[in-house]
Structures are given as C-alpha cells and as structure tokens.
Structure 1
Amino acid sequence: MAQEILEASKMKLVFDYGLDEDNKPVYKTKTFNRIRLQASADQLYQAADAIGSLSAQPLWNIERNDTYQIGE
C-alpha cells in the first residue's frame, strides 16, 4: 500500500492592492518556505496575522502548500 511522507510546507500570504484601471482586484503574494512541518493551522494563522500587520496593504488570504512524497 502506498504511503505519503510530508516533505515540505510553504505559507503564502495574499495581499489586497485594490483595483486596477478595469476595476479588477489586484493581489500580490509573499511566500515563506521551510515552514515547520508540525505547525498547526492556529500557529500559521498567528504568524501570518503578525506579518500581515506590518504591511500597508490588508491581508486578503492565507494559504498553506504541503509537498508529499508518495511511495511504498
């Protein structure tokens, strides 16, 4: 039976930069690599909230991207 092994985790913060000339929303992202694999959602949220508070633009979204190795 195949198994998955968590290899890496990234946290991506998405900031709202307002609207462009066509009234479409503009978002910019900042990705943080090498996030602790054991970090909980609450811990990531607290870290993202602290980092987001340092920005002039509001924090729009927080994403976590995990990479797994699949094997037997």
Structure 2
Amino acid sequence: MATKVNLGDKVRISFDYGVDGNGKQIIKRKAFPIIAGATDEQVYTAASKFASLCEKTLVEIEKIENYELQA
C-alpha cells in the first residue's frame, strides 16, 4: 500500500502584468513556503496582505501541497 509523505506546502500568488503585443494577458507568479500547521484561512490572509503591498493587481492565490508517494 502506498503512503504519502508531505514535502512541504507553498502558496503561489499570481499578478496581472498587462497584455503582450498579441493581446494575451501576462501573469507573473511568486511562491512562498508555508509554515507547517498554518490553516487555509491563515495562508489566504497572509497572501492577501502581501499582495496588497504590491503594485500589480492580484489575480489568484493558490495553495500547493507537495507529496511524495512511497511504497
């Protein structure tokens, strides 16, 4: 039976950098490690506060959970 081992979670924040010459939206992302045990609400609040300090418009906040599957 396979088990999963947590490799550490991250929050990824996406920002709108306008459009390119072809009219396609430019999105830039920044990822940060999450402290173990942080709730989803805490992660969202921290990411929102960080994004409010940036000049660009916030597009999305993602929580990325990384696991390794072992036999």
TM-score (norm 1): 0.85
User: What's the counterpart of residue 60 of structure 1?
Assistant: 59
Question: Structure 2 counterpart of 1:25, which letter?
Answer: Q
Shift of 1:28: 0.6
SS at match of 1:50: helix
Q: Please state if 1:24 is matched with 2:24.
A: yes
Give me the whole-angstrom Cα distance separating, in 2, the residues matched to 1:27 and 1:64. 17
% identical equivalent positions: 34
User: What's the counterpart of residue 42 of structure 2?
Assistant: 43
- Unaligned 5+ segments in structure 2 are none
Extract structure 1 runs of 4+ deviating beyond 6 A: none
- Unaligned 5+ segments in structure 1 are none
